[in-house]
Structure 1
Amino acid sequence: IQAPIVEGEYEIITVMDFENPKLGKKEIRLITVVDPEGYVFTQLPEGKLRIAGAIVYLYWLNLETKQYELWPAKEYQQENPQITDDTGRYSFLVPPGTYYLRVEHPNYPVYQSETFVVKEGSGIHMNIELKTKFWWLKIIDWKTIVMIIFGILLLYNFYRDIIREKTLRNFKNL
């Protein structure tokens, strides 16, 4: 079964044909809203920046073992973990249960959500904010860092010139 990719409201009709013709047909109708995607982002002064390459893991509470385990997505024709694309999107359509999300990316600390309960007919589409590992990146962007490094190297070069001139003057005075 493939879930719709486009957001919207969908009617799902399941028709059951029984082997015994006396039982006839049984039809079950269900209307579901599909908002199939959550996304991973970081907050910048200019707004939200979606994060590509984040690895999103979904863990579920296994009622038999009473332990959280990686959710068996293959049983539902899905992947777990999922790697976000340029839009930062991920999507899990899951059965009812208790879950939590874990997100990893090399440039950010690991994120782990609180546990949450999914009821029948719901999916997981939480938007997850990753905080930067380096607090100073919130204040200074990469262009400013490059300018600071350039300025330091320029000052170091002037310092070396002054030392070289003093050394040459001292050498000439000998």
Structure 2
Amino acid sequence: IQAPIVEGEYEIITVMDFENPKLGKKEIRLITVVDPEGYVYERNGDKETRIPGAIVSLYWLNPETKQYELWPAKEYQQENPQITDVRGTYSFLVPEGHYYLRVEAPGYLVYEGKPFQVKEDSGVHINIELKTKHWWLKLVDWKTVLLVVVTILLLYNFYRDKIRDKAMKSKIYE
């Protein structure tokens, strides 16, 4: 049985019919909550591409030290930092407090978010856009680069031939 993907509260009803009709049927009701997940992505035009393998670290404002430090996820049966899955998702279920996120992924600039407050019974699931380190590579495709390189090489050859022709002509007239 697949769990729903859309966030919300769902009622699951299991009905058991026994072989012996005298036992009747038994119904078990269960309410479950599907908590949304945040994801890490890069923007490609008007589309989003999820980034798997990004390291998402959650920092919290320690009320005792008044300093931000890595949130102690083990105390809440979670991992911190988390590595995004193939869908680029992560999720933290945290107590109320002040937090910020830091995300690192190869080939991307490090993201360090602004501090935010979490109210009671909430999770951290912010969608985070990463910027590529070499953004200028997205402006041109490989065919354009190849065309420019070939053009420069041809122009250089014509220039070199012209200089060589001048040198040959000057030697002939000497």
User: What TM-score do the two structures reach when normalised by structure 2?
Assistant: 0.67
CA distance in 2, matches of 1:154, 1:46: 37
Q: Is 1:65 the counterpart of 2:65 in the alignment?
A: yes
Counterpart secondary structure, 1:74: helix
Q: Percent identity between the aligned chains? A: 65
- Structure 1 position 153, deviation (Å): 6.0
Deviates more, 1:83-92 or 1:154-163: 154-163
Q: 1:49-77 CA distances to partner (integer Å, 9 max, x unpaired)?
A: 11122111100001011110101111111
Change (3 A) 1:88 1:142: farther
Q: Specify the alignment match of 1:44 in structure 2.
A: 44
The residue identity in structure 2 corresponding to 1:82 is Q
The residue identity in structure 1 corresponding to 2:59 is Y
Unaligned runs of 5+ residues in structure 1 are 12-29, 168-174
Structure with bigger gyration radius: 2
Q: Specify the alignment match of 1:76 in structure 2.
A: 76
Unaligned runs of 5+ residues in structure 2 are 12-30, 168-174
Q: 1:89-146 CA distances to partner (integer Å, 9 max, x unpaired)?
A: 1111111110000011221111111100001111011000111222313422455445
User: What TM-score do the two structures reach when normalised by structure 1?
Assistant: 0.67
Q: Specify the alignment match of 1:109 in structure 2.
A: 109
Q: How many residues align?
A: 153
Q: Is 1:88 the counterpart of 2:88 in the alignment?
A: yes
CA distance in 1, matches of 2:113, 2:147: 38
Give the alignment's Cα RMSD to 1 decimal: 3.2
CA distance in 1, matches of 2:59, 2:165: 66
Q: Specify the alignment match of 1:125 in structure 2.
A: 125
Change (3 A) 1:111 1:164: same
Q: 1:24-81 CA distances to partner (integer Å, 9 max, x unpaired)?
A: xxxxxx985611x111111111511111221111000010111101011111111111
